[in-house]
């Protein structure tokens, strides 16, 4: 995936730069509807070419056929196991609307180039720097990136949470609901850097479940459920895994 992003950035094509350095393949990206720093795959994907195992033939799915949601798609839910994705088509632009809405990204861009308008390459480089400062490299320590989704709560629940936890990071959504920072919830529940044997939450980013070496899938999953229950007990918020459990 990162190779594709670099291919586009090198040619001045915008649309994928905020998704720099996400580990994985291009074909897997639609399954997760990968996203980072205010951008999602669905923003630029036009269609997917896939082999339909149920029909024994190739099929083309347009963006609207993929059922994209927050870290979700039909490839992960209703059509899980049905398609083998063989090609992905994107619509990129030479004069894209650049996405610099995240504070960490703006701060890194300011550190690099001050007030100068950023280019696609500038944003990609800044994203890579921010990711490397916060997230562990899967080549160095086993992880699948963010293990839980950032939960979405309604206005009433948000009001109750803020009454008890005024510092709770939250991001309003158009429908009146709000997205919470799962990493903050996990950290407040006491699990940032916590370990159970070789399974643990990362010391710099509590949202990332890591394998320090030798933990089994069952042990990782059991620890994830422990973290999930701790957040539910303290905040009344149920975390959903972002990963596709096999």
Pairing between β-strand 208-211 and β-strand 199-201 as defined by DSSP bridges? antiparallel
User: For residues 34 and 1, is the Cβ–Cβ distance under 8 A?
Assistant: yes
* Rounded-to-integer distance, Cα 197 and Cα 200, Å: 8
User: For residues 120 and 98, is the Cβ–Cβ distance under 8 A?
Assistant: yes
Which of these, 99, 158, 107, lies nearest to 130 by C-alpha position? 107
From the candidates 71, 124, 131, 228, give the one annotated as an active-site residue.
71
Active-site residue flag, 195: no
Active-site residue flag, 146: yes
* Rounded-to-integer distance, Cα 3 and Cα 205, Å: 25
Which whole-number Å values give the CA distances from 75 to 33, 65, 82, 164, in the listed order? 10, 10, 8, 39
* Rounded-to-integer distance, Cα 85 and Cα 50, Å: 4
* Rounded-to-integer distance, Cα 224 and Cα 186, Å: 11
From the candidates 47, 124, 146, 228, give the one annotated as an active-site residue.
146
Active site residues: 71, 146, 242
């Amino acid at each position: 995936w990162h190779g594709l992003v670099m291919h586009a950035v090198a040619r001045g094509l915008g649309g994928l730069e905020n998704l720099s350095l996400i580990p994985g393949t291009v074909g897997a990206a639609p399954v997760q509807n990968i996203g980072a720093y205010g951008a999602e795959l669905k923003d630029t994907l036009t269609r997917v070419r896939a082999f339909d195992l149920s029909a024994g033939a190739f099929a083309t799915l347009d963006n609207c056929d993929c059922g994209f949601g927050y870290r979700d798609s039909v490839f992960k839910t209703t059509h899980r196991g049905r398609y083998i994705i063989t090609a992905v088509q994107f619509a990129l632009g030479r004069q894209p609307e650049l996405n610099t809405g995240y504070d960490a990204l703006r701060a890194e861009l300011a550190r690099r180039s001050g007030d100068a308008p950023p280019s696609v390459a500038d944003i990609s480089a800044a994203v890579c720097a921010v990711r490397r400062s916060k997230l562990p490299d899967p080549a160095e320590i086993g992880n699948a990136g963010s293990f839980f989704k950032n939960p979405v709560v309604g206005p009433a629940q948000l009001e109750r949470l803020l009454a008890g936890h005024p510092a709770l990071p939250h991001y309003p959504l158009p429908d009146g609901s709000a997205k919470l920072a799962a990493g903050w919830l996990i950290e407040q529940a006491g699990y940032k850097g916590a370990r159970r044997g070789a399974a643990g939450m990362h010391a710099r980013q509590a949202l990332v479940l890591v394998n320090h070496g030798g933990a089994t899938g069952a042990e990782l999953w059991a620890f994830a459920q422990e973290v999930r229950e701790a957040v539910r007990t303290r905040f009344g918020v149920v975390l959903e895994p972002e990963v596709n459990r096999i």
